[in-house]
Structure 1
Amino acid sequence: MNTLDVRVENGQRVIEKWDSVFEAVSAEPRRQLVFSLLDAPPNQSVPLPESAANPNVPIDADRLRQELYHRHLPMLADMGFIEWEREPLSASRGPNFEEVGIVFDALHSAVGDIPDSLVVGCQRLERKRQENIEI
């Protein structure tokens, strides 16, 4: 394989990885689950559906449980970002979790630069911004 072929192959692989990351974080329950897993110790699972719910928005727990079970959890598991159990319904970090977790770590690091319209209403980002102000 020549250098150009290797570059093309690597480029396509990276594009697919980024597409997976952005697809994973394109829905609120999946974002909340990633945040919850980042807040938990690396080898600990988090309970569902509560760990996938936005704490600022009332939820229909039964509906969220169904959405998690049939859509969100299988998608994240297929990407290797999480592993999940049906009984009791819970999730833990998967072998590729760092690929999606780093996006949220980067957001936390840059929280002072993020527009208020993307921070106010997100308890975790608001808390991180307040922590940075207090330092």
Structure 2
Amino acid sequence: MSFSPPNEQKWADQWDQLFDCLSAEPRREIIISLRDAPPDERLPLPDAAESPNQSMESETLAIKLRHHHLPKLADAGYVHWESEPFCVHRGPNFAEAEFIVEKVFESIEEIPDSLLENCRVLGELAADG
């Protein structure tokens, strides 16, 4: 298989987009929530984006979701979201984001303590393992 510069750039852009989408906790929480739900289920927002690591008023989180987090996830094809009712469900590229989350969860015992420290989600997962 040969690589051409345009295909190499597309490949690099996909990975950059994936890690950018997973760089914010509300977006990671949405992917985790959808991962744990049946594939066709729609999850209510902002509930699906809430994290034990951060405390944010529901209305503030909902605004941030509508104007920043959900458009970013939807542009990548990881989710579809609706305003009424305010909910989210898996998009056509959901498996890409789910893959990274799965690999982190599968490797919990190998994650450096510095990345587990003060993270309630991963800390609880490590304690259960």
Please confirm whether the aligned pair reaches a TM-score higher than 0.5, indicating the same fold: yes
Query: TM-score, normalization: structure 2?
Result: 0.89
Match of residue 115, structure 1, among 100, 112, 127: 112
Corresponding residue for residue 122 of structure 2: 125
Q: Mark the runs of 5 or more structure 1 residues left unpaired by the alignment.
A: none
- Segments of 4+ moved more than 4 angstroms: none
Match of residue 19, structure 1, among 13, 16, 19: 16
Contact 2:18/2:97, CA 8 A, preserved across alignment: yes
1:91 is paired with a residue whose SS is: strand
Corresponding residue for residue 61 of structure 2: 64
In 1, Cα distance between equivalents of 2:54 and 2:24: 14
1:98 is paired with a residue whose SS is: helix
In 2, Cα distance between equivalents of 1:121 and 1:45: 30
Percent sequence identity over aligned pairs: 39
In 2, Cα distance between equivalents of 1:61 and 1:13: 36
Shift, 1:58, TM fit: 2.1
Shift, 1:123, TM fit: 4.0
Q: Mark the runs of 5 or more structure 2 residues left unpaired by the alignment.
A: none
Structure with bigger gyration radius: 1
Corresponding residue for residue 4 of structure 2: 7
In 1, Cα distance between equivalents of 2:45 and 2:106: 27
Match of residue 102, structure 2, among 97, 101, 105: 105
2:51 is paired with a residue whose SS is: coil
